[in-house]
Amino acid sequence: MRAKLRTLRASSRVAAHAHDWAQVSFSLTGVSRIVAGPMTCIVPPTRAVWIPAGTEHSVSVLRDADMLTLYLRETPDGQPHWQRCRVVEVSRLLAELVRQIARDDPALGARVSLPPAMPRRMRAMAELVNEELSQARSLPLGIHLPQDKRLRALCQALLDEPTRHDRLEAWAAEAGASPRTIARLFRDELGTSFQQWRQQVLLARALALAVEGRPMALIAAELGYASPSAFGAMVTRTVGMSPRRFFAPDARMT
């Protein structure tokens, strides 16, 4: 287990790469976008992306960010869900443990196992990290991208400007396809509907705006919702928690 803390400026990018370690990537401050395998995620503080070993991934920084990356040779509890990319909540305890591992002697942080000779303090922190990860709540925030070139171009345009259209018909016309064809591609390629996929994009944009301190009423209006209550109902329905809990807690993990 090892960890690294980096300060990355807005608009900077870490090119696509892969390695033999699994990793957990999150921000103490700021916002980043991580593309891992078939999934893209907006990552504000209190959220992390789990990236299995061997998965190609890249990072784009949207707001100046202090990025923490935890590298693990083994999964926390051996469960199958660690074999795919996913988004999890980050507790203050987990954030501080990873930050302390990054601060400590690099020779200790680079160890690939926990042999008896490892200092007791380091062993205790690593074991507690595994416990916190195994208890971390998984969140339905990853936005999966299709392989079909036509649908992928539409999805990329929607990611860049999600409020340009609010109906499938307008996006389909822009892509030069019928609404029925686009709806079928969403089902076949992504296993979801257009509306459900777009809601994930809107949630990601809302997270980025919330980190900036925007009030919920302004976020709802900017994303095209008629009222904050309508936006709040979408958040609760999608992620299973209230907007107050989803957006407000621990906006900065410092």
Instruction: From 212, 249, 250, 209, select the one nearest 28 (Cα to Cα).
Output: 250
pLDDT of residue 82: 85
The pair phi, psi for residue 96, each rounded to 5°, is -70, -35
SS3 88: strand
How far is residue 83's CA from residue 69's CA, in Å, rounded to a whole number? 18
pLDDT of residue 118: 63
Final residue of a structural domain among 92, 109, 139: 139
How far is residue 87's CA from residue 236's CA, in Å, rounded to a whole number? 17
pLDDT of residue 30: 83
DSSP code, position 54: T
Contacts for 77 with CB less than 8 Å, ≥ 6 apart: 130, 133, 134
For the chain (254 residues), the mean pLDDT of every run of 10, in chain order, is 89 91 89 87 85 93 88 80 87 92 65 56 88 87 85 89 89 91 93 89 84 84 89 83 69 53
pLDDT of residue 216: 87
242 lies in the same domain as 220: yes
Final residue of a structural domain among 139, 163, 179: 139
Distances (CA, A) of 247 to 4, 151, 212, 220, 241: 26, 30, 11, 13, 10
Instruction: From 18, 78, 14, 76, select the one nearest 43 (Cα to Cα).
Output: 14
184 lies in the same domain as 225: yes
Beta bridge partners of 86: 50
pLDDT of residue 248: 59
The CATH number covering residue 220 comes to 1.10.10.60
pLDDT of residue 25: 93
117 lies in the same domain as 39: yes
> Is residue 188, in this structure, part of any structural domain at all?
yes
Give kind and range of the element (H or E) at residue 22: strand 22-36
86 lies in the same domain as 6: yes
> Is residue 169, in this structure, part of any structural domain at all?
yes
What percentage of the chain's residues is helix, strand, coil (to nearest 5)? 45, 25, 35
Final residue of a structural domain among 139, 158, 178: 139
Do 58 and 18 form a contact (C-beta atoms < 8 A)?
no
167 lies in the same domain as 229: yes
Q: Euclidean distance between the first and final Cα of the chain, in Å? A: 22
128 lies in the same domain as 77: yes
128 lies in the same domain as 153: no
122 lies in the same domain as 151: no
pTM: 0.76
Domain that holds residue 192: 147-247
The CATH number covering residue 75 comes to 2.60.120.10
Instruction: From 247, 175, 149, select the one nearest 205 (Cα to Cα).
Output: 247
11 lies in the same domain as 135: yes
Locus of tokens 């389909």: 172
pLDDT of residue 254: 58
How far is residue 98's CA from residue 9's CA, in Å, rounded to a whole number? 21
The total domain count for the chain is: 2
28 lies in the same domain as 110: yes
113 lies in the same domain as 230: no
128 lies in the same domain as 104: yes
pLDDT of residue 56: 94
How far is residue 131's CA from residue 133's CA, in Å, rounded to a whole number? 5
